[in-house]
Amino acid sequence: KSQKLKEVRVDLNEIEPIRLQKALSSSGVGSRREMEEWIEAGLVTVNGKKANLGDKVGPHDRVMVKGDAIKLKWPDRLPRVIMYHKEGGEIVTRDDPEGRVTVFDRLPQAKSGRWVAIGRLDVNTSGLLLITTSGELANRMMH
């Protein structure tokens, strides 16, 4: 059954438009808040026109950031969820200014989107951590 789930894909023509800043952050361009700042600063265009906060984009829109074309990643696959055994000493953050090992350093590259931890464990704590490629799923499970 899990093999079938891996093969299920979504037709890109059926994807509903989503907020531009969400599409950009899901594609790894930057954080959602950073994308909002860039949109407000006029650094983002959609189909040749200056983007505004609240604009929505679909798979067939052309998006440029700071003059560079961006290939948006769309969730054409079901979200991936992995169980990860966090060791003591690893931290649950994407970037650590102190250079410590993060759980994300040890994960395989996500094919679409990026990995999001569902919850956190303290640096000295070891245990089970759920990680997904769906920010929406992570948010629903945490709240």
Global pTM reads: 0.53
Catalytic option among 55, 68, 76, 122 = 122
Which domains are present in the chain?
2-70 (3.10.290.10), 81-142 (3.30.70.580)
More confident residue, 100 or 135: 100
105 classed as catalytic: no
Residues 34, 118: Cα–Cα separation, whole Å? 22
Closest CA to 117 of 101, 104, 99: 104
Residues 93, 100: Cα–Cα separation, whole Å? 10
Q: How far is CA 123 from the centre of its chain?
A: 23
Which tens digits make up the pLDDT trace of 29-51? 888 899 999 999 999 999 999 99
**Residue 129 pLDDT > 70:** yes
Question: CA quadruple 44, 47, 52, 55: dihedral positive or negative?
Answer: negative
Which tens digits make up the pLDDT trace of 54-104? 999 998 899 999 999 998 877 656 678 899 999 999 999 988 999 999 999
